[in-house]
């Protein structure tokens, strides 16, 4: 089968389409014929070696985390799915990839595709959906009436997280460029800051939570808009000691991540805020709940551009420019 693989870390010329063996599902896995694969920024970061100390791959490795497709084979212990089922899933952090004609998926990572979505739109959802769900519901524990700041509202995470926060009954503040103001307002954003003309920290006040989506000093800057007892869930780091312990890392890594996050934790503590680093994990049951929201059209996918499989490497290059409105999807079939 064909797959987009990277052979070594660190060099873009090591990424290419290649013929590799079709995988065989384990007893707890399903084999999916991939119709579409959604791209995420981490798909560009992995082959550079950014997450080499955390994510383990056997090289050459297939890229991609999100997929939608049709089950063609099931393992001996699988009970929730059968051949012919249309499914979607995130296989991030499972040592395999979605940018391939076929992919194996653990049964507990998959969910039935919402019937009102085609494969392209379904493939755009898993990682941004699960990340938003795990950050807003599990870490921030967002409540109706609370105010949450979700920067970069027109991006892949932002377009989904704004809608989910509104479903939870929250008020949402966001940042975007002039040309995307109407888009983020249509998704439910209540306070919209045009970052080309305003600084969000000079406008927004008394927020209960921040979803950290931007690298650099944006998370620290967002402390200025928070009130006491607030929560910060960062998707971009710095990683903290709790993250290292959850992944079973040794004491050296626990100490290192604790040291890396000490400044933001200390500054957050001064205003009575709580900081945590969120590293998404696949979860089919959560994805099924998200699927119900999509089916009911409480949340709609936002897609910027669709690339054919033969141009998957170009799709990654387009994503890396950081200007996409919503998601980038690669279509296999």
Is the same domain home to 136 and 112?
no
**Percent of the chain beyond pLDDT 70?**
99
Instruction: Provide the pLDDT confidence category of residue 323 given band limits of 50, 70 and 90.
Output: confident
- Going by DSSP bridges, is the β-strand pair 226-234/207-212 parallel, antiparallel, or unpaired? parallel
Is the same domain home to 95 and 194?
no
The answer, yes or no, to whether the previous bond of 238 is cis (omega within 30 of 0) is yes
pLDDT in tens, 154-212: 999 999 999 999 999 999 999 999 999 999 999 999 999 999 999 999 999 999 999 99
Parent domain of 170: 128-277
Residue 294 domain flag: no
61 has a pLDDT exceeding 80: yes
* 188-to-75, 99, 128, 130, 158 alpha-carbon distances in Å: 42, 32, 17, 19, 11
pLDDT in tens, 262-292: 999 999 999 999 999 999 999 999 999 999 9
Is the same domain home to 160 and 248?
yes
Distance between CA atoms of residues 111 and 129, nearest Å: 13
What confidence score (pLDDT) does residue 95 get?
A: 87
Distance between CA atoms of residues 38 and 295, nearest Å: 19
Residue 290 domain flag: no
Is the same domain home to 208 and 255?
yes
Residue 171 domain flag: yes
Is the same domain home to 75 and 153?
no
pLDDT in tens, 81-101: 999 999 999 999 998 999 999
For the chain, what's the residue count? Answer: 333
Mean pLDDT of 143-152: 97
Q: Pick the closest to residue 209 from 267, 151, 263, 127 (CA basis).
A: 151
Residue 111 domain flag: yes
Distance between CA atoms of residues 127 and 117, nearest Å: 16
Low-confidence winner among 151-155, 218-222, 227-231 (lowest mean pLDDT): 218-222
Residue 225 domain flag: yes
Instruction: Provide the pLDDT confidence category of residue 321 given band limits of 50, 70 and 90.
Output: very high
Mean pLDDT of 136-143: 96
CATH of the domain at 173: 3.40.50.720
203-236 in b/e form (b: 16+ CB < 10 A) is ebeebbbbbbbbeeebbeebbebbeeebbbbbbe
Is the same domain home to 271 and 141?
yes
Residue 205 domain flag: yes
What confidence score (pLDDT) does residue 214 get?
A: 82
Is the same domain home to 132 and 273?
yes
Chain mean pLDDT for the chain: 95
State the DSSP code for 20: -
Is the same domain home to 150 and 69?
no
* 34-to-3, 4, 37, 300 alpha-carbon distances in Å: 11, 13, 7, 22
Is the same domain home to 100 and 138?
no
Is the same domain home to 142 and 266?
yes
216 has a pLDDT exceeding 70: no
CATH of the domain at 43: 3.90.180.10
Is the same domain home to 137 and 271?
yes
Give the chain's domain count.
2
Residue 289 domain flag: no
Mean pLDDT of 48-70: 90
Residue 141 domain flag: yes
Is the same domain home to 89 and 170?
no
Q: Pick the closest to residue 153 from 191, 114, 202 (CA basis).
A: 191
């Amino acid at each position: 089968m064909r797959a987009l693989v990277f052979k070594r870390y660190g060099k873009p010329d090591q990424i290419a389409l290649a013929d590799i063996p079709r995988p065989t599902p384990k007893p707890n896995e399903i084999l999916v014929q991939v119709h579409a694969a959604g791209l995420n920024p981490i798909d560009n970061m992995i082959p550079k070696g950014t997450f080499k100390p955390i994510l383990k791959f056997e090289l050459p490795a297939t890229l991609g985390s999100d997929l939608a497709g049709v089950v063609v084979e099931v393992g001996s212990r699988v009970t929730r799915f059968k051949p012919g089922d249309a499914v979607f899933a995130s296989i991030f952090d499972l040592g395999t990839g979605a940018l391939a004609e076929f992919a194996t998926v653990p049964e507990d990572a998959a969910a039935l595709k919402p019937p009102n979505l085609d494969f392209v739109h379904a493939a755009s959802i898993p990682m941004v959906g699960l990340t938003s769900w795990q950050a807003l519901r599990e870490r921030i524990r967002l409540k109706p009436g609370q105010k949450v700041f979700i920067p970069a509202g027109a991006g892949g995470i932002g377009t989904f997280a704004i809608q989910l926060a509104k479903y939870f009954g929250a008020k949402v503040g966001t940042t975007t460029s002039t040309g995307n103001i109407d888009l983020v307002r249509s998704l439910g954003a209540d306070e919209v800051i045009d970052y080309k003309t305003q600084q969000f920290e000079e406008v927004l006040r008394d927020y209960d939570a921040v979803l950290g989506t931007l690298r650099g000093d944006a998370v620290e800057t967002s402390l200025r808009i928070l009130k006491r007892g607030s929560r910060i869930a960062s998707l971009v780091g710095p990683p903290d000691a709790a993250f290292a312990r959850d992944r079973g890392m040794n004491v050296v890594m626990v100490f290192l991540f604790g040291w890396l996050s000490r400044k933001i934790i200390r500054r957050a503590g001064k205003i009575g805020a709580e900081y945590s680093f969120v590293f998404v994990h696949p979860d089919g049951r959560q994805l099924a709940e998200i699927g119900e929201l999509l089916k009911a059209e409480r949340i709609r996918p936002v897609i910027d551009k669709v690339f054919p499989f033969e141009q998957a490497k170009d799709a990654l290059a387009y994503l890396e420019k950081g200007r996409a409105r919503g998601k980038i999807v690669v279509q296999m079939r």
